[in-house]
């Protein structure tokens, strides 16, 4: 199964944010399971870096993002992604639109986000961490 992980899930792991941390960490660990392909985008990594850098400094944030970028599959964010996000008038948050179309372009079957309602326009399922883990 191909899943796309939103920035808020990654931030929860990098910054050990409770009570979400254990659920989010389990989801990222699915990258080691051959039944799953876990994707994120360069934008999600940039957002996660920003928040990790504030909490633990530049060097440690770089190390954490480096580890993640070797474990997770990284989607493309290209002109097609941008055009799709800008042309869909149902999308009000551009960043969420970029994430959604990056997930679609990578054939992801589900998006995992703690902001499920932000993806009201999604044609693929969107679940929070706990719901996703309960369903697998």
pLDDT tens, position by position, 29-42: 999 999 999 999 99
- CB atoms < 10 A from the CB of 1, how many? 12
pLDDT value of residue 43: 96
- CB atoms < 10 A from the CB of 34, how many? 6
Angle between helices 7-14 and 21-29 (to 10 degrees): 110
Q: Sorting pLDDT into bands at 50, 70 and 90, what band is 11?
A: very high
pLDDT value of residue 55: 95
Most distant CA pair in the chain: distance in Å?
40
Q: Which residues of 58-84 are buried (b: 16+ CB within 10 A; e: fewer)?
A: eeebeebbeebeeebebbebeeebeeb
Report, as an integer, the average pLDDT of 83-98: 96
d(CA 29, CA 25): 6
Domain locations along the chain: 2-135
What percentage of the chain has pLDDT greater than the value 70? 100
d(CA 41, CA 35): 20
Report, as an integer, the average pLDDT of 15-33: 97
- CB atoms < 10 A from the CB of 118, how many? 21
pLDDT value of residue 135: 95
Report, as an integer, the average pLDDT of 51-73: 96
What is the chain's mean pLDDT, rounded?
97
As its CATH architecture, domain 2-135 has 3-Layer(aba) Sandwich (3.40)
- CB atoms < 10 A from the CB of 13, how many? 23
d(CA 115, CA 84): 21
d(CA 29, CA 79): 31
Report, as an integer, the average pLDDT of 103-118: 97
pLDDT value of residue 130: 97
Query: Whole-model pTM?
Result: 0.95
């Amino acid at each position: 199964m191909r899943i796309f992980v939103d920035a808020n899930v990654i931030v929860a792991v990098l910054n050990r944010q409770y009570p979400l941390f254990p659920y989010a960490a389990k989801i990222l660990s699915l990258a080691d399971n051959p039944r799953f392909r876990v994707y994120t985008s360069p934008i999600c990594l940039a957002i996660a870096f920003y928040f990790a850098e504030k909490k633990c400094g530049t060097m440690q944030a770089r190390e954490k993002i480096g580890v993640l970028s070797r474990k997770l599959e990284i989607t493309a964010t290209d002109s097609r992604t941008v055009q799709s996000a800008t042309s869909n008038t149902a999308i009000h948050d551009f960043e969420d639109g970029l994430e959604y179309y990056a997930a679609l372009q990578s054939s992801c079957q589900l998006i995992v986000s703690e902001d499920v309602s932000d993806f009201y326009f999604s044609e693929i399922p969107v679940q929070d961490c706990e719901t996703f883990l309960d369903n697998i």
